[in-house]
Amino acid sequence: MTLICAVIAADTPAAAEAMKVEALSAGAEAFEVRLDAFAEIPDDFSFLPTEKPVIATLRSELDEERREIFAKALASGAAYVDIESDSVLRGVFPKSQVICSYHDFTKTPAAWDILRIFRDLSSSGVPKAAFMVRGPADLLEIWKAAVVLKQSGDPFILIGMGAAGEVTRIRAADIGSMVSYCAVRPEFASAPGQITVAEAARLGDDPIITAITGWPLEHTRSPQMHNAAFRASGIRGRYVRIPSTAEELPLLPEVLRCYRIRGANVTIPHKQTVMPLLSEVLPEAKSAGAVNTILVDPSGRLTGTNTDIAGISATIADLRITPSNARVLVAGAGGAARAAVSCLTAAGAAVSVTNRTMEKARTLAAEFGATAVPRDELCAGYDLIINATPAGMSGFSQDIPVPVSILTPDTAVFDMVYEPEMTPLLAAAGDAGVRAAVCGKAMLIAQAAASFTLWTGIEADAAAMTAAFGGSP
């Protein structure tokens, strides 16, 4: 059984007592008291919350001072003291009262190296190691090591740090960790990727997990929206980030299966390259030539579909454009552009495609019966202009993907970029007096709601998702 361990990081005994009470009411089953957070370590250790197992932690280079403090903590009822793997205090206290810890804040080593580290740590107490997770490969190494560690039946603590490591905390019971360290409140998190006590208690040992993969993922708002939808529906679920480079994308299916992830969204730049990795691709995704949503069934079979189409249709409807016979320009030739072209040509629109690499534009246009037009040959006259490139997105080129001269009062502009909500294209559209202009927010919410329903069988609370769009996960 994995215990929810509340991290108490307070600067006074009174503050520690208040955090203890708050953590207990939220569902804490154990405590780590960070003595190094105190402004001055008190002589009286009666503040230790001994009604639950307590781990006393003090990070300091003053080992002789720590020896006395740790001894006092154990005498005052602490179940364990946390001693680092490179400390001279290793071996000073009984193994049964020590958690021997190791941290790597830059990477996760191979499973065999993790096991070597744990063999060393276990000679001094309960072994604990935390590694920074960067993507699918690191998640799989942690999983492989956990499979071996569980076979011994001895207690251990294994943690993946960072946003990409959050899934290891949520699946701590599957991994076999003795405790899962949790913050009393988000602002008190003591390590990257740590969830709160209340969230851990809400999720329990067997929550639904969904995810997003892509590269990079720093600016995605999907976790905010999906986690709001989980809470609004009363489902014990959590949506996490699994950033993946192109090189590690082939490992994604195994990660989804190992960590029992119900489904995943796929974003830039993997919507097309993920398709060969799946067991099945549904017709709407085949037509669009891109997958943005994966559903994992209980047997581990992965099915790909495309809810971007639903998001695009909803946004176009909001712009009061009837696709049939509408003149539409799509900038881009990637997965999002394919979804737009597929959706619009099927609805009878006259679609033109432009792209920085015109060969890709011509290939896309030919596939759907559209017209490829080089940027320098574009003229005014479109009813709708859609930007399906990353141009304008935070971290990407801030160029305007179409000539400003084609932005007219008779044109509507739909920029699929949602971060930031005001892009260079939308600013130029405003200056040109276009009749309507929207960012990708509405599309993102609509496709997210469709994905949520596929994974859970429950209609998503679109209002909750919309309210969470600008909030915190």
- The catalytic residue positions are 271
| Residue spans of alpha helices (H) in 127-261 | 136-152, 166-170, 172-175, 197-203, 222-233, 252-258
Beta-sheet strand order (sheet of 179-183): 157-161, 126-132, 98-104, 80-84, 54-57, 30-34, 3-8, 179-183
Distances in whole angstroms, Cα of residue 143 to Cα of each of 110, 111, 273: 11, 8, 25
> Does residue 159 contact residue 150 with C-beta atoms inside 8 Å?
no
Max Cα-Cα span within the chain: 81
What single letter denotes the amino acid at residue 359? E
**DSSP secondary-structure letter at 186?**
G
User: For 212, how many CA atoms within 13 A lie in the half-sphere containing its CB?
Assistant: 26
Q: Which residue has the tokens 């993922």?
A: 217
Lookup: tokens for 273: 């390259």
Paired residues of 211 in beta bridges = 240, 264
> Does residue 409 contact residue 382 with C-beta atoms inside 8 Å?
no
Helix 136-152 × helix 111-121 angle, to 10°: 40
Q: Is 60 left (phi over 0), alpha (psi -120 to 50) or beta?
A: beta
Instruction: Phi first, then psi: give them for residue 290, nearest 5 degrees.
Output: -155, 145
Lookup: tokens for 97: 């009262």
In the chain, the N- to C-terminal Cα span, in Å, equals 27
Angle, CA 149 vertex, CA 147 and CA 150 arms, to 5°: 70
Spatial distance between the Cα atoms of 343 and 288, rounded to a whole number of angstroms: 8
